[in-house]
Structure 1
């Protein structure tokens, strides 16, 4: 149990700043629905859908390679070699992006805004150079600095956006000649979200300066080839994963059979509702930050497989709870989302579909440890490519017929396929004793509770009734989990004491 406690502690250490930074970023993006109409947010949605693809190409799996080989190789030599590699390629790739910024803007149907791609290049350049310093902090177990840098970066990001989007327009109305407006250009508008991101990324890079300058320009070609041989399938995995997550928003305007203005409006609605399901993705990211180095470090232990199985169980329970929080309180989220623009409520029905799809994705990430530990990354690449093909084909087929509802079901189908395939292959090559019947029953129970709540809402459509029944059903689920897994929870720090059996009564 000590290893599980360690993972829980690491998840909190790395997770809290991740939750904090991602949640601030989430609120920042969520605020779009309060400031701009759906059609006005479409360009920014596309820009941020492109970023993850370029990030994967820029980093090409060096982070995972660093974790994989840091236990076997000289850490300084490995760090130096990978940093020289990523520094060189980042400069080269960034120059290419800047050179073709107008062409990229034309292809993305925003020819009047090539500056968006210039700012995007700045964000990716700085974030890429911070990749290995962040990995070094995680590998060396330095969560305090990791937390500080992450939170500082997103804080600056938020402050810059709030100043230019929220404060400056008010100053311009009341005092047009103010000193504070010298740097403000109202024509940039929503572009200040990107400028804020540049400022946040620059802050992060500067705070990691000590880790960055600690490397020397020493390059070991043999070590680099070994690391790249391990990493290149992960590039395919990463790109395929981004296709599955982002392709719907990239192709939506190109395949939907609607006038351009309506297509932009629907894309904005789709993106706003997609952000609600991202709450589960934030938890998954938090878990992965701690789990990846933990899984590699744990692999040589005698009980490693049992530990992985128990980790999966706790992970699924946590994901089910998060799915229910989103699904049961969907009416509350709808009220918040439609405070200013009612049109955003048109897509609220896709949120549970995307949320359960995100749960499947999280389980897939947990399962993927089998091919990383056995150096069978090509299997991971094959699964991801197959998932990407499914996603692309279903989006092309279903978006013209069902709009963003079809896209949501395409995402759900893809992640269900990837999860199932990875489980079956993993049991063949690296058998882990997952409690599959119990885990499946937890997922089914979560879905049944959600549908029960929706059925009750159809019988009596009232927001207060919806909230009341949601609380009752969520508490019932938590009570059920607490009783079924009581022995497991008893061993946890802090919360364990709440699950201990009552002391025996003394005899009179």
Structure 2
């Protein structure tokens, strides 16, 4: 099978589950932002930012390590899987017990002393999800994308359904009759905490459904393999942690860096986090690509045309990302209704965040140089430099420019990481990327966005007409520059099967 068709097929399956599932989750954004004030929504954003950091640590980089050593052939796949699974199960149980015992001091440290339950609920979600990630990695490695997608959809559907059940159905029942069966399930003092309860229940359901993937996993553990796994994977923790700093530190730190009182800072955090969600289409595509791309890059690395294929993958990846950038920014007047009116003052950050996500996606493609050459420590250095840029810019720009400074910090960080990764990749794993073409599409996308903003100011033009014209121009450019070129490549053999 054509490797590009295989990658596209896998990305499509993962993407459908991600898009459908995250779209359901996405519907929670208007639901929650129309239900809760920005300061209350900020609590959700803050805790999920903390969870993002801890999720990286609790995985120990072993997801990538599993793919690497499973494909290596030195140990049977079931031994690699069992070694990873047993270690992660034990460490995550220990983590949860520790957090549960210390929940009150931690809540006080986070300035949420009135809700220590938020702390241990979050820890339980993290532990369940970390163990579940190993089983999902196995499904990806075995090309069982349909089962992967089904379970993800069930989990997300349960999460969304329970959130709406608690916050809408039970709350309404409580307001009508606090003594009713449904009304008794609503406790006003918990408030946004029902978001965590719904997530915890959905994560538990997911683990139950993954039971077949666990059945033969706990019986094997190879100490020699475990040592090599850790040596390979621990730098991935640094890379992942640095990545989370780049991605989520702003939401964890805004309430401490903004120059207002605590209530205003939490409201600003809520506004920024809600507008951040408007860049979710780009994030969905990148996530789907990651699910399919990582095992694909490893399994295809030994083919004679691997590097040419990787270059072609990046080219089409950027085309798709620029299309998504234009789709959201050109029709932002429509997308804005996904958040409550109290949150729309932050819409100016959406184009910047989308561009930052685009550069993140390019970095994901370029990062194969250290994964395929086992130079994960060097990859960690790149990520740490990016994290350093993020920290410095957040400390510098947020007190001056507010959450807009946080958005620009994302863009600068990912742009710098792309440049560093490209230069290192040229030395250690040269891939003939078409840099001019890739940059050309990015520049074209930004130019079309700016052109649409200018057209809106011209009499007789509205945002819908201007956006549609600019999007049509982009699609025509793709048709003329790349669609025929891809057809010729297939026709001459290229990367076809």
Query: What is the TM-score of this pair, normalised by structure 1?
Result: 0.93
How far is 1:220 from its partner?
A: 1.1
SS at match of 2:221: coil
Contact 2:315 2:434 in 1 (8 A): yes
Q: Which residue of 2 aligns with 1:77?
A: 79
8 A Cα contact 1:43 1:110, kept in partner? no
Residues 486 and 279 (structure 1 numbering): CA distance in 2 closer, same or farther, change over 3 Å? closer
Report the counterpart of residue 501 of structure 1 in structure 2: none
Q: Structure 2 regions of 5+ residues with no counterpart?
A: 492-497
Q: 2: distance between equivalents of 1:171 and 1:110?
A: 28
Deviation digits for residues 387-442 of structure 1, max 9, x if unmatched? 11110111011111000111111111001000111011101111000011011110
Match of 2:494 in 1: none
* Alpha-carbon distance in 1 for matches of 2:176, 2:35: 19
Deviates more, 1:352-361 or 1:187-196: 187-196
User: What residue is the counterpart of 1:322 in the other structure?
Assistant: 324
3-state SS in 2 of match to 1:177: coil
Q: CA deviation at 1:144?
A: 1.9
Aligned runs of 1:14-163 on 2, under 5 Å? 14-71=14-71, 72=73, 73-163=75-165
Aligned partners of 1:155, 1:248: CA distance in 2, in Å? 28
Q: Report deviation, 1:492.
A: 11
Structure 2 residue aligned with 1:402: 401
The residue correspondences of 1:445-464 to structure 2 (distance < 5 A) are 445-460=444-459
1:30/1:275 contact within 8 Å kept: no
Residue 290 of structure 1 corresponds to 292
Contact 1:482 1:489 in 2 (8 A): no
- 1:246 pairs with 2:272: no
1:258 aligned residue: 260
Q: Does 1:477 align with 2:497?
A: no
How far the C-alpha of 1:335 sits from its partner, in A, is: 4.1
Q: Which of 304, 307, 312 is residue 305 of structure 1 equivalent to?
A: 307
What SS does the corresponding residue of 2:194 show, helix, strand or coil?
helix
Distance 1:29 1:378 in 2: 38
- Confirm or deny that 1:433 pairs with 2:435: no
Secondary structure of the corresponding residue to residue 302 of structure 1: coil
In structure 1, the residue matched to 2:352 is: 353
Residues 181 and 174 (structure 1 numbering): CA distance in 2 closer, same or farther, change over 3 Å?
closer
Aligned to 1:334: 336
**Which stretch of structure 1 is more off in the superposition, 351-360 or 75-84?**
75-84
How many pairs does the alignment contain? 489
Cross-structure match for 2:464: 467
Q: 1:506 aligns to what?
A: none
Match of 1:279 among 278, 281, 294: 281
- Tell me if structure 2 keeps the 8 A contact 1:164–1:184: yes
Where in structure 1 are there 5+ consecutive unaligned residues? 497-508
2:421 is aligned with 1:419: no
DSSP-derived class of the 2:228 partner: helix
Out of 163, 166, 169, the residue aligned to residue 168 of structure 2 is 166
Task: Report the equivalent of 2:2.
Answer: 2
In the alignment, what sits opposite 1:502?
A: none
- C-alpha RMSD of the superposition: 1.7
Match of 1:500 in 2: none
Q: Distance in 2 between matches of 1:196 and 1:310?
A: 42
Quick one: distance in 2 between partners of 1:255 and 1:50? 16
How far, CA to CA, are the matches of 1:81 and 1:138 in structure 2? Answer: 17
Q: Distance in 2 between matches of 1:335 and 1:126?
A: 34
Quick one: distance in 1 between partners of 2:92 and 2:141? 23
- Name the CA distance, whole Å, in 1 between partners of 2:53 and 2:445: 32
Q: Distance in 2 between matches of 1:111 and 1:358?
A: 35
What's the secondary structure of 2:234's corresponding residue? helix
| Post-superposition CA distance 1:361-405 (Å, at most 9, x none) | 000011001100000011110011001111011101111100011
Structure 1 SS opposite 2:462: helix
Say which SS state the counterpart of residue 218 (structure 1) adopts: coil
SS where residue 182 of structure 1 aligns?
helix
Question: Shift of residue 457 of structure 1?
Answer: 2.3
- 1:236 corresponds in structure 2 to 238
Larger mean CA deviation between 448-457 and 484-493 belongs to: 484-493
